[in-house]
Amino acid sequence: MKRPAQVLRGAVSGVSARFSAGATPERELLLGTVLLVSAISGTIGVTLAQYFEIDVLSSVLTLPYDCWVDSGIRVGRHCFSDYSLTVGQALRPNPWEPYPLHLMKGIEAAQNPYPPAAMLPHAIFGLLGKLLHAPLAGLFGYELALAISLLTPAVWATRGVRGLERVVVFVVLSAAAAPVWAVLDRGNSVGFVVPIALVFLVALCRRRWGLVTLMVVLASLVKPQFLVLGFVLPAARQWRWSGIAVLAGVLSNLGAYLLWPRNFPSTIGQSVRSSLSAGGTYEQLAGGFNVSIQKGLLTIPDAVAAAGNGGKVPDGFLEGPRVLLGYVVLLLVLGCVLVLGHRIPPVQAGIVLLATASLFPPVTFRYYLAFVLPIAALIVRDPDGRPGYGIFQRFADLGDRRRIVGISISLATALTIAQIPVPGHASREPIMGLSGSGLSAPLVLTTVGLVPVFWLLACAVIIGSYARRPAGAAEDFTLC
């Protein structure tokens, strides 16, 4: 009578062992969710475009009419504005002098918010196009470099899988990822942060603090807000490397001003004033293309206010909190990470800081969501694990599985990569710039508005989990 029960228990144990050894639930959750959501998004998108004349692509990305200046860099109706504008500024003797923009109200003077180091990629490719007397050649070279940078996590992640799954992983982290297209569509240099962030997270897994420091400095050169990543060093009690990161970051950013020697050193003050004055208009703060932390926290109040105002958030509604909320959350996250210290694995602290650094500015456009690509790559592939293993499987093998942490990060990542247009009331978005002329495009809301909420919850889950129970002693022997 006992033998069948023993056989059954043995079979169940064998199945459990094979499942534990051969499957990684977080990996499957990420890949499966992206594929499912992408299929739903495609079905709804075709319906909205075919039957209701909705501009679905612009709803998911942004309007293609972005020719704010007559730069000669134009492909059809599209000017890749974040590249063409910045190239025009970078090739001037003093990039921080006001420049004209074609807005709905007419031509207005605008300020250049970029520090000098952040303009280097634009200056290099812009100069190439100028030397070849072909501005489009510089644009294509720049877009190619961006594409290579954005595809780095996908290529790296596929090296940890075999067979057909390689194709699935590559598609999920590249062609199916809305943030990839958002970066390429605008030509924003945040795409160059993606491979840097991947190396940053892998270096945290291996606790190579010198490499971590170098990546922090490089990321801050491309986008100064990513200097926040350096807080992972004092959190890990790496005081010497913390000092080196601060010193190297400050000196390299200041040294970049020498590349534009005219009016130096007064250009430092000009640049700082331009950056501080580029906080965004109220329309940008409350608009649907903003995916910052404050926008996520004010989702419900905005929806209530818009419902009573014809579907539009009233001008000036909660304007003060919109500017400050992101900075408050940033300070809270930094404080929690520093207090947790060795209680939280460095790679988990790095994920929290990477998400926060990307989303805390009051105006955060959708291309900043590319920060999820290196996180997705780590979920799919453990840097030093067996094929088919992600970092969460490594933690599980060491006896420190935190299912809620893995699920929250995987879902937040998947729902950032794949976004769904929401059927409902279509708004008319005005077309500005040189292609404007009072035209507008019909757009609908998408699930991208919930992305900052997903990441706030994921970061809260990570911090709460390690505050309640520190990283296990077994993790002292792991590389993550």
What pLDDT is stored for residue 18 in this prediction? Answer: 38
pLDDT of 479 reads 44
Which residue reads 């020719």 in tokens? 67
- The answer to whether 253 and 117 are in contact (CB under 8 A) is yes
Q: Which amino acid is at 54?
A: I
Q: What are phi and psi of 442, to 5 degrees?
A: -80, 120
Dihedral sign computed on CA atoms, order 125, 194, 280, 182: positive
Binned at pLDDT 50, 70 and 90, residue 289 comes out as confident
| Gap between the Cα atoms of 143 and 36, Å rounded | 29
Residue 451 main-chain phi, psi, to 5 deg: -55, -50
- Positive or negative CA dihedral for 28, 31, 37, 43? negative
- Whether 142 and 83 have beta carbons less than 8 Å apart is answered as yes
Q: Where are the domains of the chain?
A: 24-477
The whole-number pLDDT of residue 280 equals 65
- Between 464 and 80, name the one with better pLDDT: 464
Q: What angle do CA 100, 223, 153 make, to 5 degrees?
A: 120
Both structure tokens of 247:
């010193």
Query: For residue range 140-196, what is the model confidence (pLDDT) as tens digits?
Result: 999 999 999 999 999 999 987 888 889 999 999 999 999 999 999 988 999 999 999
- For residues 368, 369, 374, 378, the Cα torsion angle rounded to the nearest 10 degrees is 150
pLDDT in tens, 356-397: 999 999 888 999 999 999 999 999 998 987 877 888 888 877
Cβ within 8 Å of residue 400, ≥6 positions away: 471, 472, 474, 475
pLDDT at 22 over 80: no
Per-residue pLDDT band for 101 (boundaries 50, 70, 90) equals low
For the chain, what percent of residues have pLDDT higher than 70? 87
Task: Tell me what percent of the residues of the chain surpass a pLDDT of 90.
Answer: 45
Looking at residue 117, what is its pLDDT? 87
Whole-angstrom distance, CA of residue 274 vs CA of residue 263 = 15
Length of the chain: 480
CA gap 344, 468 in Å, rounded: 11
- CB distance 177 to 417 below 8 Å: yes
Summarize the confidence of residues 329-345 as an average pLDDT: 93
- Helix (H), strand (E) at residue 100: strand 99-103
Strand partners, 102: 107
**Number of H-type helices and E-type strands within the chain:** 22, 4
Binned at pLDDT 50, 70 and 90, residue 299 comes out as confident
Q: What is the predicted pLDDT for the residue at 307?
A: 76
Confidence category of residue 434, pLDDT binned at 50, 70, 90:
low
